[in-house]
Amino acid sequence: MNDQHNRQRPLRVGMLTPSSNTCLEPVTYGLLQGAPPGLATVHFARVPVTRIALDSGSDAQFDRGPMLAAARQLADAKVDVLVWNGTSGSWLGVERDRVLAEALSVETGAPATTSTLALLDACAAYEVTRLGLALPYTSDVADAIVATYAKEGLECVLAEPFGEHDNEAFARIPAADVARQIEEAASGGAQAVAVVCTNVYGAFEVERLEGALGIPVFDSVSATLWLALGLAGARASWSGYGRLLREGGLRGHGGGSA
């Protein structure tokens, strides 16, 4: 009697999104247009984030309370996996993201991860130890990210950051400028480049740049989707958006909480 309700459905990916982010939703939808039909749908909840800086006011935006409240709403949609689609752990500390992922999973019953953990998993999957960084942030935030990643065993090659602190403004940086920054970050023996921000338009530049540079480029939005699908059990792959999605199914270690 309930056969129609028991038919296999697409995976449901729940994403917690910074409130001022205007990039990751359209980019994620764009990435999925090339995916195998019926692979996944994505569902978003927003948490208040407007400014990126190294002070207590900025740090407070990333407290767990609002994220858990938003996660409970996504759990009502019976999502199969949950992600914090933000890179705050890259300067606040990776262990903070690991604790957050565990808390989200306990709260909702779904496996959970974050964008920072996805980038680290991508580095682990491709055995990257020297990583180029393309960042929109101010120089002090960039330095904090270099220090955070060093604790994870990554030596970083830092391109000149764009120096922005207004989160909404990140998405107004032209994609061509992001591409030039990625090229700069690839210098100095980098084994891969990471675009560390989910409100920067880098994902659609990845395929071309990987061909030109000869190394992987890990865009935060692409990497988050890649790991979310992996945690949900998908092993699908598709072309046009770089090695992570083309060689889908690769997983590093410690990228989330199951």
Q: How far is CA 122 from CA 4, 5, 170, in A?
A: 38, 36, 23
Q: Which residues contact 79 (CB under 8 A, 6 or more apart)?
A: 12, 13, 14, 43, 108, 110
The per-residue pLDDT for 43 is: 98
**Hey, is 166 helix, strand or coil?**
strand
Q: What is the DSSP letter of 191?
A: S
The per-residue pLDDT for 53 is: 96
The per-residue pLDDT for 77 is: 97
The per-residue pLDDT for 47 is: 97
As a whole number, mean pLDDT of residues 5-26 equals 90
CA 161 – CA 177 distance, rounded (Å): 11
The per-residue pLDDT for 254 is: 45
The per-residue pLDDT for 5 is: 47
pLDDT tens-digit map of 193-233? 999 999 999 999 999 999 999 999 999 999 999 999 999 99
For the chain, the average pLDDT equals: 94
User: Pairing between strand 256-257 and 112-114?
Assistant: antiparallel
Is the pLDDT reported for residue 16 higher than 50? yes
CA 195 – CA 241 distance, rounded (Å): 14
pLDDT category of residue 258 using cuts at 50, 70 and 90: low
As a whole number, mean pLDDT of residues 156-180 equals 98
CA 138 – CA 140 distance, rounded (Å): 6
Strand partners, 84: 16, 114
Rg (CA), the chain: 17
User: Pairing between strand 192-195 and 155-158?
Assistant: unpaired
CA 232 – CA 229 distance, rounded (Å): 5
pLDDT tens-digit map of 54-113? 999 999 989 999 999 999 999 999 999 999 999 999 999 999 999 999 999 999 999 999
Q: Give percent above pLDDT 90 in the chain.
A: 91
CA 151 – CA 248 distance, rounded (Å): 27
The per-residue pLDDT for 188 is: 86
Strand partners, 195: 134, 219
pLDDT tens-digit map of 129-151? 999 999 999 999 999 999 999 99
CB atoms within 10 A of CB 153: 11
How many separate helices (H) and strands (E) can be counted in the chain? Answer: 13, 9
Q: Give percent above pLDDT 70 in the chain.
A: 93
pTM for this structure? 0.94
pLDDT category of residue 238 using cuts at 50, 70 and 90: very high
Is the pLDDT reported for residue 243 higher than 50? yes
Q: How far is CA 258 from the centre of its chain?
A: 18
Is the pLDDT reported for residue 2 higher than 80? no
CA 257 – CA 224 distance, rounded (Å): 14
CA 248 – CA 238 distance, rounded (Å): 8
As a whole number, mean pLDDT of residues 1-11 equals 62
The per-residue pLDDT for 249 is: 61
